Structure 1
């Protein structure tokens, strides 16, 4: 079955999209914050049309929520939401990495992502680099559908990290775990790398939301 190529996003919409995403991932726009089209248009010096389109795209990724009564708000993160997102990752990511290693696919992008995370200027850049690290592990798995399914939860996982880091900035620990995972992967240890990745994902959500604790 052939899939149509995605429609390119106009430059002004892309600019607003990245600006709002950066504000969300640095905590400038906190979970639950109302995102008003007119205010955002004035803030970014554009008309309301690119703002509206950007918000629709962000709603599709799960970073914002559109409601007929409340308008558009940054998605609220609670234990249930975090565990839902991370449950999907636990089910799929270790298997994807196992397949990537078995196929002897290149992991150069994962190494570069670690460098980018170490040199990140702020929390948003670090979050983006962390996402790229994980994506570099699963993208070459050989199953495009599996990779797309994991892509669908990337933004929501980043939002969970942003909220968790606001109370427990544990990125150094996670960076060390990333190096361990990549080391095992580069050594060709598919089972060891997959197990380390599973533990990495599971321990993060348990630390961030112990006993179902909410951060919203």
Structure 2
């Protein structure tokens, strides 16, 4: 068998395409859910670390450090395979979403912390002098300014999470990689894996270009200051 027949077999690719597209839908759903939950949790952890009581700050620091050091694959295996021994069971989709969200929340917390600390403290003092409450100040004054700094790294983290969704195949979730490996086994040909790689590129390359655009725009804005 030659290279084309083995890895780029058009007939096998066409036959496996419906399976791959089901995997794409599950991958996108998993990525979006992880980004939404991980982003919200990360902002909450960031605020706890910056403005919570000292014990809460220490807990937030430990949370961030632990999850930034923990490989996603190890965390996923612990959630899906170890927790049932203590009576906690999750579906493969829930386990993957939880693992990805936890890790993303740790990185998001650090990015948000850097962005908020970049805003001059005088902004808080001015808002306080005007009698504006903490949460109103954070929502209307601090976060809009911090977003200029944190959007590029946040977008980069989201791209990384989308790539890490491939790890969900370890817990038998029918994501794009799992569907591709199943199609490979069914058709005794690795062409579906090449098709899966192409589909990953189709929806990840625009996100990578978006990250580059946001980074360049951020640099221009910083230079303009």
TM range (shorter): under 0.3
What's the TM-score once normalised by structure 1's chain length? 0.28
Structure of higher RCO (CA pairs closer than 8 Å, 6+ residues apart) = 2
Q: TM-score, normalised by structure 2?
A: 0.27
Pick the structure with greater CA Rg. Answer: 2
| Structure with the higher fraction of residues in helix conformation | 2
